[in-house]
Amino acid sequence: MLLSLMIFIPLLGMIVVLLLPRESEELVKRVTLLFTLIPLALAVALFISYDRSAAGTQYVVNIPWIEAFNIQYHIGIDGLSVTLLLLTALLGPICVIASWRNIAKGIKAYMALFLLLETGMLGFFAALDLFLFYVFFELTLLPMYFLIGVWGGPRREYAAIKFFLYTLFGSVLMLVAMIAVYLNSGVPGVRTFDIPTLITLASTEGHALNDLNFQIWAFLGFFIGFAVKVPIFPFHTWLPDAHVEAPTAISVILAGILLKMGTYGLVRINMAMFPQGMDFFCNGTGTWGNSLALLGFINIVYGSFCALAQTDFKKLVAYSSIGHMGFVILGLAARNTEGITGAILQMFNHGVISGMLFLLVGVLYDRAHHREINGFGGLGAKMPIYTGITTLAFMASLGLPGLSGFVGEALSLLGAYDKFKMLTILSTIGIVVGAAYFLWTLQRVFLGTLNPKYEALPEINGREILTLAPLGILTIVLGIWPNFAIDMFRESVTNLVNVLQAI
């Protein structure tokens, strides 16, 4: 009940916002904030009350929905989903506050779509029925298209439709795989979309879902769907466009949550339901045995080098995201406790850190109205607080020990080294390059002589600090005490590793 409430409160908020008069903009913003704070409170409550020692799903709701096809409204949380739900619920109000001043037109529609988006994201992380999972997955598409397309930058139309087409392409392949799983799950009448049931069936010897060939193809179908979302090379080209054009808050959601939907899907569906398909692509032998790790490696190195070449601040952060998601893929490919724990931690951390980075880019853009890295210089003296927070975010992102980014990356690499020595060693290039582009950016923007154009640039204000502070604190806390998060999903990971090693 608590979980359903959390998912659908934003939807209710959307209806309320739509009913408000369009003139009262302040009211619209406050109502939206309220309707994002409630899910946050609920998420915190879930996070605290979640039983860490149990491995299974908790807070399960299972109601028949479309009986003709045995589709259920089945939701529940395990350690992984509760962590990502918390992240989603946390970024919700932060993004609303970040949008407070810089959405020029149609604030009502913007907030309504944002709330719809939040319902889609929350529902996605809680869904335990494959059909429901897909519906929530797609539900995020429409609001995102409008949020980028209507409130974005100069090339917003191109970016919005590119995002939409890429994601839809991925999801139709996923749809085929999903239908195939459904059809193979049993004889007509007892077929099911229930994810836990399907996972059990898929590991039952002799069942159609257990067939290696089937597992490989179904794995691929889902994988491409999620790979577009993560994004994994070569499906990544929509991401820089979408990020550069999206308004600040939407970039935060895009990097913080939508990318995680891809990696979450890989863990929830690809790894748990198709362990043999996973094995085929990650066992280190045969033609395809290294492919997933290789993709992770390409993401890391390619993303980092692309970031190094950028002169647009936002594009730099966008490419750095591609690099950081590579660590997640690499960690997952390792299929051991360290690797998966690292990958999940990296998902959460990246959500927090990239959220900060995009907010920081937004702060600067709102003042200077451009994002050209070389156009600044010497801001450190002008905006000391801003510089301090940015330095924190940069250091966290480049993986400085003591901050959260380090733990996830280190664990991922640790896990991966066990299985893919060469690729892991080569992947560390990405960390070096990461340090290079962040430090270089720091130097170009904050050090040196102040550009006289920006003599009067105002310091970061209280509202902006309010959005950054929770994320900054989380970065430090998770850097020092990563078990705060790891404890949540330790049991779930152990469970998953058992499934993966059982084959």
Partner 1 sequence: MQLLSNIESLLYFTPELLLVVSAIVVILVDLGVKNRESAIVAYLSLAGIGCVFVAVLLTYGQLGDRTSISLFLGMIRLDAFSTFFKVLLLLATAATILFSLRSDELDARLKGEYYALLLAITLGMFLMASSTNLLMIFIALETVSLTSYILAGFLTHNPRSSEAAFKYITYGAVASGTMLFGLSFLFGMTGTGDLGQISTRLTELLAAGEVYPLTVLIAIIFILAGVGYKIASVPFHMWSPDVYEGAPIPITAFLSVASKSAGFALFIRFFYSGFSSSEVLQSVDWTLMLAIVSALTMTVGNLAALPQQNVKRLLAYSSIAHGGYLLMGGVLLTPEGVGAILFYLVVYLFMNLGAFYVVVLIANEEGSEMVEGYRGLASRAPLVAGAMAIFLFSLTGIPPFAGFFGKWLLFTAVLEQGYYWLAFVGLLNSVVSLYYYARIVKAMYLEDAGEETTRTPFSTGTFALLSVFVIPTILIGFINIFYTFSNISVSVIPIQ
**Token pair 């007892």: residue:** 190
Q: Please report, as residue ranges, which positions from 33 to 92 form the binding site for partner 1 (by CB under 8 A).
A: 65-69
232 is written with which tokens?
């994994």
Out of 135, 208, 436, 439, the residue judged to bind partner 1 by CB under 8 A: 135
DSSP state of 152: S
The dihedral through the CA atoms of 376, 380, 381, 384 has a sign that is positive
Contact predicate 331/457, CB 8 Å: no
Q: Is 214 in the site for partner 1 (CB under 8 A)?
A: no
Q: Is 123 in the site for partner 1 (CB under 8 A)?
A: no
Contact predicate 459/383, CB 8 Å: yes
Out of 164, 376, 406, 446, the residue judged to bind partner 1 by CB under 8 A: 164
Q: Which one, 113 or 361, has the nearer CB to partner 1?
A: 113
State the binding string over 93-122 for partner 1 (x if CB under 8 A, else -): -------------x----------------
Out of 176, 208, 436, 465, the residue judged to bind partner 1 by CB under 8 A: 176
Tell me which long-range contacts 453-459 makes (C-beta under 8 A, separation of at least 24): 454/367, 454/368, 454/376, 454/379, 454/382, 455/382, 457/367, 457/368, 457/379, 457/382, 457/383, 458/367, 459/382, 459/383, 459/384, 459/385, 459/386
Out of 59, 146, 238, 297, the residue judged to bind partner 1 by CB under 8 A: 146
Q: List C-alpha distances in Å: 484 to 47, 412, 489.
A: 11, 18, 10
Contacts of 327 by beta carbon, 8 Å cutoff, 6+ apart: 296, 300, 342, 343, 346, 408, 409, 412, 413, 427, 430
How does 384-417 read in b/e, with b if 16+ C-beta sit within 10 Å? Answer: eebbebbebbbbbbbbbeebbbbbbbbbbbbbbb
Q: Which one, 265 or 339, has the nearer CB to partner 1?
A: 265
496 is written with which tokens?
């998953």
81 is written with which tokens?
């989903």
Out of 2, 34, 60, 141, the residue judged to bind partner 1 by CB under 8 A: 141
**Minimum distance from CB of 85 to partner 1 (Å)?**
21
Out of 114, 145, 297, 386, the residue judged to bind partner 1 by CB under 8 A: 145
Contact predicate 33/93, CB 8 Å: yes
**Minimum distance from CB of 251 to partner 1 (Å)?**
18
Q: Is 489 in the site for partner 1 (CB under 8 A)?
A: no
Taking Cα atoms as reference points, which of 264, 266, 242 lies closest to residue 252?
A: 242
Q: Is 25 in the site for partner 1 (CB under 8 A)?
A: no
**Minimum distance from CB of 181 to partner 1 (Å)?**
10
Amino acid at 500: L
**Token pair 């900054």: residue:** 472
Contact predicate 90/109, CB 8 Å: no
Q: Which one, 1 or 68, has the nearer CB to partner 1?
A: 68
295 is written with which tokens?
């993709």
Q: List C-alpha distances in Å: 165 to 6, 223, 238.
A: 30, 17, 9
Q: Is 134 in the site for partner 1 (CB under 8 A)?
A: yes
Q: Is 160 in the site for partner 1 (CB under 8 A)?
A: yes
Q: Which one, 173 or 457, has the nearer CB to partner 1?
A: 173
Rg of the chain on CA atoms, in Å: 22
Q: Which one, 149 or 355, has the nearer CB to partner 1?
A: 149
Contact predicate 277/213, CB 8 Å: no
Out of 25, 138, 312, 491, the residue judged to bind partner 1 by CB under 8 A: 138
| CA–CA gap between residue 447 and residue 37 (Å, rounded) | 38
**Minimum distance from CB of 103 to partner 1 (Å)?**
15
Q: Which one, 124 or 438, has the nearer CB to partner 1?
A: 124
Q: Is 208 in the site for partner 1 (CB under 8 A)?
A: no
**Minimum distance from CB of 86 to partner 1 (Å)?**
25
Q: Is 2 in the site for partner 1 (CB under 8 A)?
A: no
**Minimum distance from CB of 34 to partner 1 (Å)?**
24
Contact stretch for partner 1 (CB under 8 A) within 135-143, 293-301, 336-344, 455-463: 135-143
Out of 34, 37, 61, 161, the residue judged to bind partner 1 by CB under 8 A: 161
Q: Is 19 in the site for partner 1 (CB under 8 A)?
A: no
**10 Å Cβ neighbour count for 73?**
16
Q: Is 183 in the site for partner 1 (CB under 8 A)?
A: yes
**10 Å Cβ neighbour count for 16?**
16
Q: Is 165 in the site for partner 1 (CB under 8 A)?
A: yes
**Minimum distance from CB of 213 to partner 1 (Å)?**
13
Q: Which residues bind partner 1 (CB under 8 A)?
A: 65-69, 106, 134-135, 138-139, 141-142, 145-146, 149-150, 156-157, 160-161, 164-165, 168-169, 172-173, 175-176, 179-180, 182-183
